[in-house]
C-alpha cells in the first residue's frame, strides 16, 4: 500500500507549499487537487463565456487531462471562485475521484492537498494534516503571492474571496471542508514556512518509522 500524506485546510493556508516541500524532502509524488477544480472552473467559464453550466462542468471534469493542470491562468481569483462553484457539484466531484485515487496509489509515496483528502479521497492516509491560519494572515499571503505574479487585487478583495470560498467549501453537502477526526491541526498563523514544513516533516517521520519505512 502506498504511504499517503493528506493535507487539507482552508484557502491559502500553505497546503500546497508544505505539500511540495514535503514531497521533495521524502521523494513522494505531489498532487495539488485544487488544480483539478481550478482547471474545470476555468474551462467552464471559458466555454460559457463567464456563465457556468452544471452539465458543461461535469463534461469538462470527465475529460480533464494532466496537461490541463499545467496551463497558465489557474491561480487567479476569478478562477478560484469558479473552482469553488463547480466543486459544490456532486457530478464534478465524482468525475475527479478516480484521477485522485489512482494518483494516491503511486508506490513511491504521495502527498495530496485539498479539502476532502483525509475525509473522502484517502480516508486511510498514514498522515492527515489540517493546515490553517487566520483569514487575515491567509489573505495577506495570497495577496503577496498574486502581486508577485503581476495580479494586484486589493487586500479587501482577496480577504473577501478567501472568506467566500471557505464558507462555500464548508457548507456544501458533498465532501465539505472539515477537519478529519484523526487529522493533526497545524495552525501556521504565527509560523513562517520553514517552521511549518519542519513541523509537518517531524509528524511524517514518526509515521514512517511506525510503518517501518524509514
Ligand atoms: O495551497 P494553499 O492555497 O493552502 O497555500 P499556498 O499557495 O501553499 O500558500 C500561500 C502563500 O503563503 C504562499 O506564497 C506561501 O509561500 C505563503 N506561506 C507563508 O508565507 N507562510 C506559511 N507558513 C505558509 C505559506
Ligand atoms: O489554493 P487555495 O487554497 O486558494 O485553493 P485550491 O486548493 O486551489 O482550491 C480551489 C477550490 O477548489 C477550493 O476553494 C474548493 O472549492 C475546491 N477544492 C475542493 O473542493 N476539493 C479539493 N480537494 C480541492 C479544492
One domain for residues 170 and 189: yes
**Residue 29: beta bridge partners?**
110
Name the closest ligand to CA 12. Answer: 1
* 103 belongs to a structural domain: no
145 within a domain of the structure (yes/no):
yes
Q: Which domain holds residue 13?
A: 1-33+109-205
Residue 101 lies in a domain: no
Supply the pLDDT for residue 10: 98
The answer to the question of residue 116 being in a domain is yes
Closest ligand (CA of 34): 2
Residue 157 lies inside a defined structural domain of this protein: yes
Residue 15 assigned as binding residue: yes
Residue 183, annotated as binding a ligand? no
Question: Domain holding 153: CATH number?
Answer: 3.40.50.300
Residue 116 and residue 172 in contact, taking contact as beta carbons nearer than 8 Å: no
48 and 87 part of one domain: yes
Whether residues 132 and 186 fall in one domain: yes
Chain centroid offset of residue 64 CA: 17
Work out the burial of residue 91: count CB atoms within 10 Å of its CB; fewer than 13 is exposed, 13-18 middle, 19 or more buried.
middle
Q: Point out the ligand nearest to the CA of residue 141.
A: 1
ipTM tops 0.90:
yes
- Give the pocket of ligand 2 (CB within 6 Å): 11-12, 16, 33-34, 37-38, 80, 83-84, 87, 114-116, 165, 169
pLDDT in tens, 132-187: 999 999 999 999 999 998 888 999 999 999 999 999 999 999 999 999 999 999 99
Q: What is the DSSP string of 114-132?
A: ESSIIIII-TT-SEEEEEE
Q: Ligand 1: distance of its center to the CA of 13 in Å?
A: 6
Q: Is residue 102 part of a domain?
A: no
Q: Does 14 carry a binding-site annotation?
A: yes
Residue 77 to residue 83: CA distance in whole angstroms: 10
Confidence of residue 213 (pLDDT cuts 50, 70, 90): confident
Residues 63 and 147 in one domain: no
**What's the domain count of the chain?**
2
Residue (of 90, 25, 98) closest to 58 by Cα position: 90
Mean pLDDT of the chain: 96
Mutate to test the pocket of ligand 1, among 14, 149, 185 (most ligand atoms within 8 A of CB): 14
Q: Is 150 annotated as a binding residue?
A: no
User: For the segment 74-95, what is each residue's pLDDT rounded down to a tens digit?
Assistant: 999 999 999 999 999 999 999 9
**113 and 195 belong to one structural domain:** yes
Grid coordinates representing 84 are: 469553488
User: How many whole angstroms separate alpha carbon 29 and alpha carbon 34?
Assistant: 16
Residues 22 and 115 in one domain: yes
168 located within any domain: yes
Ligand 1 mean position to 9 CA, how many Å? 12
* DSSP 3-state of 70: helix
Amino acid at each position: 500500500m502506498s504511504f499517503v500524506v493528506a493535507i487539507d485546510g482552508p484557502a491559502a493556508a500553505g497546503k500546497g507549499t508544505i505539500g511540495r516541500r514535503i514531497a521533495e524532502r521524502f521523494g513522494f509524488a505531489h498532487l495539488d487537487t485544487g488544480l483539478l477544480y481550478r482547471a474545470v472552473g476555468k474551462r467552464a467559464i471559458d466555454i460559457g463565456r463567464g456563465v457556468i453550466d452544471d452539465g458543461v462542468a461535469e463534461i469538462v471534469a470527465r475529460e480533464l487531462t494532466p496537461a490541463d493542470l499545467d496551463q497558465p491562468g489557474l491561480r487567479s481569483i476569478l478562477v478560484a471562485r469558479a473552482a469553488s462553484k463547480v466543486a459544490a457539484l456532486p457530478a464534478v466531484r465524482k468525475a475527479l475521484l478516480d484521477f485522485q485515487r489512482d494518483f494516491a496509489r503511486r508506490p513511491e509515496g504521495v502527498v495530496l492537498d485539498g479539502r476532502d483528502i483525509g475525509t473522502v479521497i484517502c480516508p486511510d492516509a498514514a498522515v492527515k494534516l489540517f493546515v490553517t491560519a487566520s483569514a487575515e494572515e491567509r489573505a495577506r499571503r495570497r495577496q503577496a503571492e498574486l502581486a508577485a505574479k503581476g495580479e494586484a487585487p486589493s487586500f479587501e478583495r482577496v480577504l473577501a474571496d478567501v472568506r467566500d470560498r471557505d464558507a462555500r467549501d464548508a457548507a456544501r453537502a458533498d465532501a465539505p471542508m472539515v477537519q478529519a477526526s484523526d487529522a493533526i491541526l497545524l495552525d501556521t498563523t504565527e509560523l513562517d514556512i520553514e517552521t511549518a514544513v519542519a513541523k509537518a516533516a517531524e509528524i511524517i517521520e514518526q509515521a514512517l518509522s511506525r510503518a517501518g519505512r524509514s
